[in-house]
Structure 1
Amino acid sequence: MLSSKSLMRSLRQSGQLPVHDFLAPALFAPEPALHLHDDPEEQRISRRSEPRRPRRRRPETEAEASDQGAARLPVLSLNQAGELAATLIYTAQKPPLVNAHPHLRPLMSHMYEQEAGHLRTFNSLLAKHRVRPTALYPVWSVLASGLGWGTAVLGREAAMACTEAVETEIGTHYNSQIRSLLEMFEGYEVGPELRDLVGTLRRIRDEELEHLDHALENDAKEAKPYWLLTSVIKAGCRGAIWASERV
């Protein structure tokens, strides 16, 4: 039986722990003195010290566990819409930004290719788990293109501030999903499919936060007015997440 803390412990030992897990401090709370051991007698002693939790029906198969996870995590469709929006932001930003700053072409292409890969991943996950896309897909497409073009026209610093603001919200959002998955399957047998899903979300989150680092390296904080621009974009991202989770 793997708890979320046991899973995190095994990932740390195997070297798979992402560098950006500092965004989930709750996952690293000090562990109780008594915990599960390999010895059956020690397990019984440790379990007596743990608080009693409501009994939940255990998934009978890995496939059923995966289906339960998808059913309780409809934000897969939100992730798909978010990654589409990201590709459209970079698509709209690239022409004016690269024309004015040719040295940014490799960076913009690199970030776009990563976002396109994320979109392909979530397209596949939606098809696999039969999750419908958000109905607001067309709306976010138009707004993302406008945001990308508008910030690029304002200049390199504004375009990078846009990336910083968006990736800050998206990184936090992905981290929340990872925490929810770990909590959802606490006490259940965790099969390779669920491990792969958590690993995929972590990889995508870390790549998004890599974009944030690139933005800061390219003077995102020099945008004028930085505070107003990033605050409006972050609020827009939170509003889009809120609406997409409900439509």
Structure 2
Amino acid sequence: MAKTSARQDGGLLETVKTVVYALLIAGIFRTLFFQPFWIPSGSMKDTLLIGDFLFVNKMAYGYSRYSCPFSFCPISGRILGGEPERGDVVVFRHPVNGTDFIKRLIGLPGDTVQMKNGVLFLNGTQVPQEAAGTFEEIYEKQGPMGNLPRCENGPVGEGGVCTSSRYVETLPNGVKHNILNIDNNGFADNTDIFTVPPGHYFFMGDNRDNSQDSRFGQAVGGVGFVPAEFLIGRADRVIFSSAGRSMLYFWTWRPDRFFKAIE
């Protein structure tokens, strides 16, 4: 009996050690290399859809205290990092509420940013937009949060086709990406001139009329200017995508988005 008990105790100890080692390895991998991220909202349509699953490249910009779970990294500022580029799709920590956001980097330190009638102006120059057809989706609850899309052709009944105008925007460094437009009359379509402070960045969602981003101050739910240390990493590729309320609903998977590059 003593030998059997000893073997059981030894087996339990080995199991515990294996689990601990696995958790440590996973934690190190998540902290230093890639962090999983699930798209919960439609603010980046049609670049990213609700239910897209991706890994964030944390090596792209180096590391700050926000690179660790619960912001535990004992790091001041950023270390071992390259500079983000205009047009990157970036995951960052909200400076006020602590949640992770994903948006496109539009304004670099020292830039001026303004929206006029739904058109982006950078440093006083209009950013070109080229019409690229219409984005269509079904007007229904989307993802685990059950969000309903906004439609340019609204009101639309449930199950109807919801449309938005799509354009290709070309940033000054040559990065081209899709944006969606619903109307040109909202606050975010006509703004004051924003001047990006040193060490900060200006972010916008590609779904321009459905994104709480740097056009909105932190006091009203936006993100304002984002300090460099709050950047977590760059989103490069969608790994998996599900249009349903759960990733287990295999009939809602989007195979055409598996391993899709993010542009």
Q: Same fold (TM over 0.5)?
A: no
Q: Classify the TM-score, shorter chain.
A: under 0.3
Select the structure of larger CA radius of gyration. Answer: 2
- What TM-score, normalized by structure 2, do the two folds share? 0.24
- What TM-score, normalized by structure 1, do the two folds share? 0.25
> Normalized per residue, which structure has more strand?
2
